[in-house]
Amino acid sequence: MNDHQKIIGVVGGMGPEATASFFYKLIRSTEVKKDQDHYRIFIDNNPKIPDRTKAILGEGENPLPALIATAKNVEKAGADVIAVPCITSNYFLADVQKEVNTPIANVFEALATYLSTKEKNVQKVGVLCTTGTRKMALFQKNLPFDICYPSDRSQETKVMEAIYGIDGIKQGNTGIAPKRLLQEAALELIDNGVDVIISGCTEIELALKQEDVEIPLIDPMQVLAESLTRE
């Protein structure tokens, strides 16, 4: 590693466990021989940022001011690039970028490159994500593939229940209950002929693992971590 290695800033807290998982991905994605080879990373774990999905659906406070303030924090700390481990927040990131000079890493660009180079002959992509991400068509707008989602009913009773429900991931549960719901939603996508499934919410990869589905399961935050740790 060179002496001028970039410093990574992370706008975190959406949610905290997803941020911790992303931090670990950055560490594990870096080729090192000693501690000093790792990247310097500034993380502002700010769980006070209002819920992105509720805001998009018109049911909650706008998270943009808090996102901007948090991005400015890691910029002031010295970050050369900013990563945001929350897919739904991408709806707001163009406006955040207007307020900071430090570039915000684009997870969709990293994902498109990965799918085009690492996963051959991908045409139909299944996505498990929040209703906010789905409603704003973030994956359709940013990926050059046929995007497929679970049915509207499965979206609410399986995917959103797994993320936000009483036994959901945001309640601190990453065990069998959310896993089963996500597996059922994934099976629906597989039955619809998708080539790969994307964990389109940072919470999902905490419960649903590759061994739980029979086709490639892509974690955008792993892809982003790998792209950030290649100098």
Give me the pLDDT at residue 4, please: 66
Is residue 99 domain-resident?
yes
- Domain limits for position 89: 8-106+224-228
- Residues contacting residue 190 through CB under 8 Å, at least 6 positions apart: 126, 197, 213, 214, 215
Structure tokens at 142: 């940013």
Is residue 74 domain-resident?
yes
- The average pLDDT across 56-70 equals 97
Give me the pLDDT at residue 208, please: 97
Same domain as 134, residue 33: no
Task: Provide, rounded to the nearest whole percent, the portion of the chain with pLDDT above 90.
Answer: 95
Is residue 2 domain-resident?
no
Same domain as 95, residue 22: yes
pTM of the model: 0.93
Number of Cβ atoms within 10 Å of the Cβ of 24: 11
DSSP 39: P
Structure tokens at 141: 């707008």
Region of residue 74 (left: phi > 0; alpha: psi -120 to 50; beta: else): alpha
Same domain as 46, residue 30: yes
Catalytic residues: 86, 201
CATH code where residue 194 lies: 3.40.50.1860
Look at residue 26 and tell me whether its pLDDT is greater than 80. Answer: yes
Number of Cβ atoms within 10 Å of the Cβ of 197: 26
Give me the pLDDT at residue 68, please: 98
Same domain as 87, residue 131: no
Quick check: 96 and 71 in contact, CB under 8 A? yes
Question: In Å, how far are 107, 108, 120, 230 from 31, measured between CA atoms?
Answer: 21, 23, 25, 9
Give me the pLDDT at residue 2, please: 47
Total number of domains in the chain: 2
Same domain as 102, residue 15: yes
Q: Model confidence at 231, in pLDDT bands (50, 70, 90)?
A: low
Same domain as 75, residue 12: yes
pLDDT by residue (tens digit) across 101-137?
Answer: 999 999 999 999 999 998 878 999 999 999 999 999 9
Is residue 3 domain-resident?
no
Quick check: 49 and 13 in contact, CB under 8 A? yes
Query: DSSP letters along 109-120, please?
Result: HHHHHHHHHTST
Is residue 1 domain-resident?
no
Query: DSSP letters along 136-163, please?
Result: TTHHHHH-SSEEE---HHHIIIIIIHHH
Q: Model confidence at 144, in pLDDT bands (50, 70, 90)?
A: very high
Look at residue 3 and tell me whether its pLDDT is greater than 60. Answer: no
Question: In Å, how far are 1, 13, 64, 169 from 158, measured between CA atoms?
Answer: 44, 23, 28, 12
Same domain as 158, residue 100: no
Same domain as 162, residue 182: yes
Measured in degrees and rounded to the nearest 5, phi and psi for residue 197 equal -120, 135
Q: Look-up: residue for tokens 């163009």?
A: 94
Is residue 204 domain-resident?
yes
Give me the pLDDT at residue 1, please: 43
